[in-house]
Amino acid sequence: MLVTRDEIPDPNNLTIKTVLNGEVMQDWNTNDMIFDVPTLIAFLSGSKTLLPGTVILTGTPHGVGFARQPPVWLKPGDTVSIEIEKIGTLTNPVINEPGF
> Per residue in 51-80, pLDDT tens?
988 888 887 777 788 888 899 999 999 999
**Dist CA 42 CA 84 (whole Å):** 21
pLDDT by residue (tens digit) across 11-59? Answer: 999 999 999 999 999 999 999 989 998 999 999 999 999 998 888 888 7
**Dist CA 32 CA 6 (whole Å):** 22
User: Residue 67: its pLDDT value, please?
Assistant: 84
Domain count, the chain: 1
For residue 21, tell me if it sits in a domain. yes
What domain range includes position 28? Answer: 5-32+61-93
For residue 40, tell me if it sits in a domain. no
For residue 48, tell me if it sits in a domain. no
For residue 42, tell me if it sits in a domain. no
For residue 15, tell me if it sits in a domain. yes
Write down the pTM of the prediction.
0.79
Region label for 43, one of left (φ > 0), alpha (ψ between -120 and 50) or beta (otherwise): alpha
**Dist CA 90 CA 50 (whole Å):** 21
For residue 43, tell me if it sits in a domain. no
For residue 79, tell me if it sits in a domain. yes
